[in-house]
């Protein structure tokens, strides 16, 4: 028996999936969830085998949700229209349904999702997929992080600075700091270049938070930020800062 959940914010869309599922007696529906947060919680607690996941939802999008789970169940995405996502689906051959879809197409997707997981780990595909979608979004407007069991969505303009920590980055905001598995290069490319600057190999800074620059040794500066942090500024970082802030 396959245990499934639906994460989808529109009632009619959920009704349709439920109706299509009546043709599959081998699938039990454990529950339906109307936003990203409750969907995430359900995946962690119920550990379903199969998830019907909408992309655009309140609180967390389908992709943001996937970034936050460790063990990925079999996923069938449902989306209405999202150029980046559709391209990403095609490249990564993950099952997806374009709304509106037929019972036949739905059956195919279920068949595909169930077959695939037996041969190869789907989670790898999912990682590739989310990476691909994230890459395509040029400028980030928010970042999702996880601390223990809590999820935090950080609007990028609240970020003070990002510090590199081996395979992770530490994101500093007023309320604290959050670790996220992501590269510095990724943040360098996807944070608004008019606002964020890599001032050092280890730091990307929100230039609005820079209080002052202090001469540290000859030709070497420290940036003092609104939260009191003092960060080294490299030579090239100083030059870039100078041209961006025009001093």
Partner 1 sequence: MVHPVLQKKKYLVYYLLAWAFIGTVHATVLNHFYGFNHLISFTDSFVFYSLFGIIAIGLWYTVKYSDINKAKITDVIFNHGGAAALTLVIWYLTGSFLLRQIFADNTEYLNFLNVSIPWRLTIGVFLYLLIILIYYLVISYRNLQEKILNEAELKSLVKETELSLLKSQINPHFLFNSLNSISSLTITNPAKAQEMIIKLSEFLRHSIGHKERQMISLSEEMDHILLYLDIEKVRFGDRLVYRLDISESCKNFEVPNMILQPLFENAVKHGVYESSDEVTISFVCEPCMDGIKLKISNNFDLEAAPRMGNRMGIKNIINRLRLIYQREDLLKTNKSNSIFEVEMILPKLT
Q: Under the rule (CB under 8 A), what is the footprint of partner 1?
A: 9-13, 15-16, 19, 34-35, 38, 56, 58-59, 80-82, 98-101, 139, 141-142, 153-155
| Rounded CA separation 171/110 (Å) | 38
Shorter beta-carbon distance to partner 1: residue 97 or 231: 97
| Rounded CA separation 231/218 (Å) | 16
| Rounded CA separation 152/72 (Å) | 20
CB of 160 to partner 1, least distance (A): 16
Shorter beta-carbon distance to partner 1: residue 60 or 204: 60
Shorter beta-carbon distance to partner 1: residue 11 or 227: 11
| Rounded CA separation 94/104 (Å) | 17
Shorter beta-carbon distance to partner 1: residue 154 or 213: 154
Order across the sheet with 220-225: list the strands: 210-217, 220-225, 230-233
CB of 221 to partner 1, least distance (A): 32
Shorter beta-carbon distance to partner 1: residue 44 or 103: 103
Shorter beta-carbon distance to partner 1: residue 151 or 231: 151
CB of 171 to partner 1, least distance (A): 13
Asked if residue 205 lies in contact with residue 223, where contact means CB atoms within 8 angstroms, the answer is yes
Helices (H), 154-209: 184-190
CB of 14 to partner 1, least distance (A): 8
CB of 162 to partner 1, least distance (A): 17
| Rounded CA separation 190/188 (Å) | 6
3-class DSSP state for residue 40? Answer: helix
CB of 170 to partner 1, least distance (A): 19
Asked if residue 231 lies in contact with residue 225, where contact means CB atoms within 8 angstroms, the answer is yes
């Amino acid at each position: 028996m396959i245990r499934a959940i639906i994460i989808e914010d529109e009632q009619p869309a959920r009704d349709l999936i439920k109706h299509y599922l009546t043709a599959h007696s081998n699938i039990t529906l454990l529950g339906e969830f109307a936003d990203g947060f409750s969907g995430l919680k359900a995946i962690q607690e119920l550990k379903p085998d199969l998830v019907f996941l909408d992309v655009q939802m309140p609180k967390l999008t389908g992709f943001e949700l996937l970034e936050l789970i460790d063990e990925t169940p079999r996923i069938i995405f449902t989306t209405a229209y999202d150029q980046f996502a559709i391209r990403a689906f095609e490249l990564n051959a993950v099952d997806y349904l374009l709304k509106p879809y037929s019972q036949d197409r739905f059956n195919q997707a279920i068949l595909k999702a169930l077959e695939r997981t037996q041969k190869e780990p789907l989670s790898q595909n999912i990682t590739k997929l989310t990476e691909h979608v994230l890459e395509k979004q040029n400028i980030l407007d928010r970042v999702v992080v996880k601390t223990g069991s809590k999820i935090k969505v950080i609007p990028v303009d609240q970020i003070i600075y990002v510090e590199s920590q081996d395979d992770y980055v530490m994101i500093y905001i007023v309320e604290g700091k959050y670790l996220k598995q992501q590269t510095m290069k990724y943040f360098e490319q996807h944070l608004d270049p008019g606002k964020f600057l890599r001032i050092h190999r280890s730091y990307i800074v929100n230039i609005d938070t820079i209080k002052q620059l202090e001469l540290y040794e000859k030709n070497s500066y420290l940036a003092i930020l609104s939260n009191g942090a003092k960060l080294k500024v490299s030579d090239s970082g100083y030059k870039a800062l100078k041209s961006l802030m025009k001093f």
